[in-house]
Structure 1
Amino acid sequence: MKSFIFFIVFICVLLVNPFLAMAASTPSGIPLEEVEDVVDQFASEHIGQSTVGASIVIVKDGEIVLAKGYGQGDVENNVPIDAETSVFEWGSISKLFVYVAVMQLVEEGKLDLNEDVQTYLPEGFLTRLHYDEPITIMHLINHQAGFEDYVFDLGYSDKAYVESLEEGLRRGEPKQIYPPGEVVAYSNYSNALAGYIVELVTGQPFYEYVEEQIFSTYDEPVEAAFVPNDPTSTVETNKVNGYLPAGVGEFIEGNPFYVSIYPAGGLNGTALDLAQFALALMPEDGESPLFQSESTLEELFTQTYAPTDNFPGLAHGFWEFPGSQRTVGHGGNTAAFSSHFQLVPDERFGVIVLTNQGGELHFTQELMTTLVGLDTTKTTSSLPDTSEVSGSFQQSRKMDSSFIRLYYSLLMMSIEPHDNESIVVSFGGESAIYQQVQPYVYALDEGAPLFLTMPYLYAQMEDGELVKVSSSAGDYFPNSWMNQALLILLVVSCLYMIGAVLTIPIVFLLRKIRRSNKKSAKPFIGLQLLSFALVVNVGIMAFRMLADTARRFSEFYVQIGLNYVLLLLAFLFFFFCMKRIRREQTSKGLLFLRILSLVMFVLFASSLIYWRMLG
């Protein structure tokens, strides 16, 4: 009788909720009672080897099902990471708070997503716009305002350089290089500008608005704050050290990261602080404490951009990820921290991964994908030839107005066929195989963790020509022949100038043996020495930038000025050399060498100007 009653009750429960009898699991299918073991095993393979430390929090159905720290927050003093108390730099996860703030103001009727941003900004605020089409707030949150990636004055290792949000935006304004709405080019500036508009509309500092309208709505108090912009912040007390990898199992301490345009990446806090944000975005009854209406939350997660149908794109600033179920979130990086925040709204499932290591990919990408899954379902068997999408490509996210232009031109992505249905994609020294799952849409099959940041690629064709390749995070354009030619010219001319200078002692020695007149050679030797000095100065500029990317543009004023002086002097010597060639009779061999040196100098100078080495 008892067995019969239990059976009847079980059947009734199934009729009410047929999924209740099934074990709760992650979107990728890992039962929740096993998820800690899975994460522990993953950590045992990476912590202390490829990753210095991590804090992991998993939420499901309004509850925290895992909150655990791994590795060291202070390697030298052997201080372990604690998920409850260890504070990390969140990097670009901070951007999500801008998007939520914007939607709160849209709900209140104080902002219009399709309004020209100039409506909200002080007159003459933006000074480097190139196109007449207006930039809307939707363009800002979709990274389609057309701004270049301005890396100077973005982050500092010394908080003494930090300015107000307005001053930071004015100092670091990028050039507009694309028409609004046409190209996705990831932009910290766009996000911070949206945060500034929130500040102007509400009449209070953005950090204060976030504290009052977002943090204070949570069920539990949080410690998170924008550092160092929030004068009331105390989060640095519990902040862990950030590190950079120095080899397998070796790490060196990195620099802190302070920003003037802080809405784009200035939040610091614990993983549990972010878990409260996740819970507020996935309420049980749809009524989020962040919004007055359920419809606003639904609108927040509605797709606002995708390069093609059935493709992950953007949802009001949240990046879509092709998990086993629809996933939205954002990653983050600072000088010495990496992070990831992913939500699966339909399953009320979320994962927060914070690491104290710059450029970390194993926890932030591999573990994340392990928990949310990856959809690579093939939708059709009729697919075009993969050879149509082969070539080399430059990313839309680039800096065009300074010497960093050369660096971005070297960051090319290459694509070549692997077989009839797959391609090999190479970028940043890594490679991966993508399978074609629908016409011109490719899904990541296998490869380095780097490519989990762009799990889908779409090749846009027009009249049989490949126009661009898109991921949800940005566009890639076919590398132009001009860029390739000028890059080759720069390398060849630099090598020539170096070689020419190295041969000067030999020239002097031969002339001394022959006792010939050295007067006619002086302008040419002077030109070679000045060109060599330019090569050295440019090399030093590149080394300084690569050694520490958190720099002010003003730090390069002296070297940029020196480039101007050296180039002007070189052109003066070039003029003297031209006069010498006209007046003096020399052997054909020597005449050829002198003309060659002048031609190489012109090519070299043209390359310096094109690659913005003069500022």
Structure 2
Amino acid sequence: MKSFIFGLIFSIVLVVNPFQVTAASTPSGIPLEELETFVDQFASEHIGQKTVGASVVVLKDGDIVLSKGYGQGDVANNVPIDVETSVFEWGSISKLFVYVAVMQLVEQEQLDLQEDIRAYLPEDFLTRLQFDEPITLMHLINHQAGFEDYVFDLGYSEKRYVESLEDGLRRSEPKQIYPPGDVVAYSNYSNALAGYIVERVTGQPFYEYVEDQIFSTFAEPVEAAFVPNDPESTVETDKVNGYLRADLGEFIEGDPFYVSIYPAGGLNGTALDLAQFALALLPEDGESLLFEEGTTLEELLTQTYALTEDFPGLAHGFWEFPGSSRSVGHGGNTAAFSSNLQLVPEERFAVIVLTNQGGELHFTQELTSALIGLNSEKDSEALPDTQEISGSFQQSRKMDSSFIRLYYSLLKLTVEPNDSESITVNFGGEEAIYQQIRPYVYAYEEGSPLFLTMPYLHTEVEDGQLLRISSTGGYFLLEPPSNQVLMVVLFATCVYFIVATVVLLITWLIRRIRRSHKTSSNAFVGLHLVSFALVINVGVMAFRMLTNSARRFSEFYAQIGLNYALILVALVFVYFCIRSLFKNEHRKGALVLKLISLVLFVLLVMALVYWRMLG
């Protein structure tokens, strides 16, 4: 019954009439005097069951109107979250400090947002660019540089692997897979590269710049710092344990997150530290101490990219959220922490949520949306039928140059018409219903809180076919039919060689038991065994990456080398297999099976090359 009542309240505040909102309320219409009760009720539904712990801070008109900790910072020792002292990993909220730093330098005419970034970098810095068009600072800020999502050497669970920002950027440089300006594809590398440009222009480490030019302007001192990149910081000593949810009410301790390209996600601090940043971005008179001119803050929070008119996009790196009033902010995730910061500039309102749980969605997304509201007001004009809105799509944010390419191809967004006005969307095993509010624009209505990270979807239809879906977080592109074919080829050949190898082993055992001296072609047996070993090695590579994504690419050198060695050995067996086929001593059935084995081995190697399993 408690869940039903809270769900009813949440549904009401998500779609609130703006004329009912008073000055002393959240943008969604919750009176401030009822705010703590509302958040406490929300916490009682989730803390200890779906979420291990959280710090929540709410700001209104320059004041902190709620600051409270919920749950545990150390489950084993029953240590509660303390909003004043509990330190969390902020993850990608760190990126906002890069954008502020860039705008400070733009204001001082030390940087130009339209300048080719190579003007600020060493000559030999970027080596994997594929297009002639220049990448500008604005492209970096808008995630439009065209970089793939390179996940290796992004984060480590051990400090000893952390390098300097420059060395980290050189080691983890991604391949450019889109022309600059064409596609929004979220990029950690782009942000860290912008932070490195700040470092190059100012002549001081980025963490020092943030300390001197951003933290020092706050009304209250903060202990936040980039960990472990700032050697002077001791903030990590107060960091709570990070967790992953194992089951309802069960949590397992996760790994810490240390990063070389730290501007993209290395900040650690308390929720009140982050509140000082939010206050600096929401000054009473628009004159922020972060900038010399008040117009620079206004420019910072002005939209710099949107797919269409009235569709949320980006504001100098801040993601726009279609709340009851326009809001901007950023979420963050590390291996075992999740966070969210949302600002509503028109109402000088902000919500800060830090949780010590990887992939947490209820506090970071559901609670934030409940306090800000979601604008899903429907147009009165006639809307097109949803029956043409269906298909399978891949993220524009993807890795294309290693064996993780297959994982991104499997991570599809599927869309199906639900009725004449709504669609059902599935992504990563989660589902939600979206309601059409304007022609080809759909707003989140109900479902997994995962989809609150993309509350609006824009569908592009041409000649009755859905070609592309855009969200507030990037693009989803129609899956190429060739991908589906090659995926089937890869899985079919893997299954064939696994089954065939098992059959061969069983046959060999039976013959040993019966003391039979009959033998099969040794070359074909060898081909099956080597192919089986290749399939197993690739499977182990995928398993290692899926169980711990914070890995160095060098950890896979041995397995990649083994793949090449196995293929070379297999090619030797292929040579002898082909020679044996010219001998007239095969029964028809055996001949057909051997031909199938050769053809499928060739298809297996082609699929492994296409899916980058060899490097």
Q: Which TM-score band (shorter chain)?
A: over 0.9
The letter of the residue matching 1:452 is L
Equivalent residues of 2:324, 2:373 under 8 A apart: yes
Q: What are the superposed Cα offsets for residues 338-360 of structure 1, whole Å, 9 maximum, x if unpaired?
A: 00000000000000000000000
Matched, 1:67 2:67: yes
Residue matched to 2:566: 566
Equivalent residues of 1:23, 1:32 under 8 A apart: no
SS in 2 for 1:431: strand
Shift of 1:516: 6.4
Q: Distance in 2 between matches of 1:82 and 1:186?
A: 33
The letter of the residue matching 1:114 is Q
Residue matched to 1:521: 521
Residue matched to 1:104: 104
The letter of the residue matching 1:234 is T
Shift of 1:602: 1.1
Residue matched to 1:350: 350
Q: Distance in 1 between matches of 2:419 and 2:67?
A: 43
Q: Distance in 2 between matches of 1:229 and 1:52?
A: 28
Structure 1 consecutive aligned stretches of length 4 or more whose deviation exceeds 2 Å: 461-467, 505-518
Residue matched to 1:296: 296
Q: Distance in 2 between matches of 1:173 and 1:248?
A: 39
Shift of 1:22: 5.1
SS in 2 for 1:54: strand
The letter of the residue matching 1:488 is V
Using the size of structure 2 for normalisation, the TM-score is 0.95
Query: Which moved further from structure 2: 576-585 or 278-287?
Result: 576-585
The letter of the residue matching 2:85 is T
Q: Distance in 2 between matches of 1:24 and 1:179?
A: 47
Q: What are the superposed Cα offsets for residues 77-111 of structure 1, whole Å, 9 maximum, x if unpaired?
A: 11111111110000000000000000000000011
Shift of 1:552: 0.4
Residue matched to 1:162: 162
Residue matched to 1:10: none
Matched, 1:200 2:222: no
SS in 2 for 1:503: helix
Bigger CA radius of gyration: 1
Matches within 5 A, 1:47-446: 47-446=47-446
Q: Distance in 1 between matches of 2:511 and 2:266?
A: 63
The letter of the residue matching 1:253 is E
Q: Distance in 1 between matches of 2:505 and 2:22?
A: 82
Q: Distance in 2 between matches of 1:393 and 1:539?
A: 25
Shift of 1:572: 1.5
SS in 1 for 2:521: helix
Residue matched to 1:15: none
Shift of 1:510: 6.8
Equivalent residues of 2:62, 2:282 under 8 A apart: yes
Q: Distance in 2 between matches of 1:484 and 1:503?
A: 28
Equivalent residues of 1:340, 1:352 under 8 A apart: yes
Q: Distance in 2 between matches of 1:438 and 1:297?
A: 31
Q: Distance in 2 between matches of 1:389 and 1:129?
A: 35
Shift of 1:571: 1.5
Residue matched to 1:3: none
Equivalent residues of 2:391, 2:466 under 8 A apart: no
Residue matched to 1:459: 459
Q: What are the superposed Cα offsets for residues 492-535 of structure 1, whole Å, 9 maximum, x if unpaired?
A: 111100000011134336767695652x6100000000000011
Q: Distance in 2 between matches of 1:381 and 1:484?
A: 38
Q: Tell me: CA distance 1:22–1:193, structure 2 relative to 1, closer, same or farther (3 Å).
A: closer
Shift of 1:385: 2.1
The letter of the residue matching 1:551 is R
Shift of 1:600: 1.2
Equivalent residues of 2:150, 2:399 under 8 A apart: yes
Q: Distance in 2 between matches of 1:166 and 1:373?
A: 41
Equivalent residues of 1:307, 1:472 under 8 A apart: no
The letter of the residue matching 2:427 is F
Equivalent residues of 1:304, 1:315 under 8 A apart: yes
Q: What are the superposed Cα offsets for residues 279-310 of structure 1, whole Å, 9 maximum, x if unpaired?
A: 10010011000011111111111111111111
Q: Distance in 2 between matches of 1:535 and 1:294?
A: 60
Using the size of structure 1 for normalisation, the TM-score is 0.95
The letter of the residue matching 2:576 is F
Query: Which moved further from structure 2: 465-474 or 437-446?
Result: 465-474
Shift of 1:380: 3.6
Shift of 1:605: 1.2
Matches within 5 A, 1:29-44: 29-44=29-44
Residue matched to 2:555: 555
Equivalent residues of 1:530, 1:570 under 8 A apart: yes
Structure 2: segments with no counterpart, 5+ residues: 1-18
SS in 2 for 1:424: strand
Structure 1: segments with no counterpart, 5+ residues: 1-18
Residue matched to 1:490: 490
Q: What are the superposed Cα offsets for residues 149-172 of structure 1, whole Å, 9 maximum, x if unpaired?
A: 000000000001000000000000
Q: Distance in 2 between matches of 1:531 and 1:584?
A: 26
Shift of 1:70: 0.5
Q: Distance in 2 between matches of 1:221 and 1:424?
A: 47
Q: Distance in 1 between matches of 2:82 and 2:278?
A: 19
Equivalent residues of 1:42, 1:367 under 8 A apart: yes
Equivalent residues of 2:22, 2:29 under 8 A apart: no
Equivalent residues of 1:468, 1:476 under 8 A apart: yes
Equivalent residues of 2:87, 2:235 under 8 A apart: yes
Equivalent residues of 1:424, 1:434 under 8 A apart: yes
Shift of 1:603: 1.2
Shift of 1:597: 1.0
Residue matched to 1:26: 26
Equivalent residues of 2:389, 2:415 under 8 A apart: yes
Q: Tell me: CA distance 1:198–1:598, structure 2 relative to 1, closer, same or farther (3 Å).
A: same
SS in 2 for 1:167: helix
Shift of 1:468: 1.1
